Amino acid sequence: KAGVTQTPRYLIKTRGQQVTLSCSPISGHRSVSWYQQTPGQGLQFLFEYFSETQRNKGNFPGRFSGRQFSNSRSEMNVSTLELGDSALYLCASRRGGETQYFGPGTRLLVL
């Protein structure tokens, strides 16, 4: 069974640009969550989608947005990139039970 996949794995952008990251959950998983990991702030929850609806959101500015498609794939978008947005962005999926399974992450570098 394939795990959570995230594309792209690495990305370099410049300040002011926007970026879209993609996450494909494990087959059958309908819940997708996104996390940002930085050396300074650690792992922080961005948002969660279930059946195409955002049902929880972390404390991030409106520049961070996301969506989920009918096949449960999810995208997150960051507009007007800032240097501080450089991070590892992790996606996790869950079907039922307690365990969330994470993807390999997308490393974003903003120059």
Partner 1 sequence: AQKITQTQPGMFVQEKEAVTLDCTYDTSDQSYGLFWYKQPSSGEMIFLIYQGSYDEQNATEGRYSLNFQKARKSANLVISASQLGDSAMYFCAMRLSGGYNKLIFGAGTRLAVHP
Binding residues (CB under 8 A) for partner 1: these are: 31, 33, 35, 42-45, 48, 50, 55-56, 58, 88, 90, 92, 94, 98-105, 107
Which SS3 state, helix, strand or coil, does residue 5 take?
A: strand
The minimum distance between CB 84 and partner 1, in angstroms, equals 18
Nearer to partner 1, 11 or 79 (CB): 11
Count CB atoms within 10 A of the CB of residue 108.
20
Q: Which is nearer to partner 1, 14 or 41 (CB)?
A: 41
CB nearer to partner 1: give 15 or 57.
57
Q: Which residues pair with 12 in a beta bridge?
A: 109
Sign of CA dihedral 36, 40, 43, 44: negative
Q: How far is CA 33 from the centre of its chain?
A: 7
**Do residues 95 and 82 make contact, with C-beta atoms less than 8 angstroms apart?**
no
Shortest distance in whole angstroms from residue 111 CB to partner 1: 20
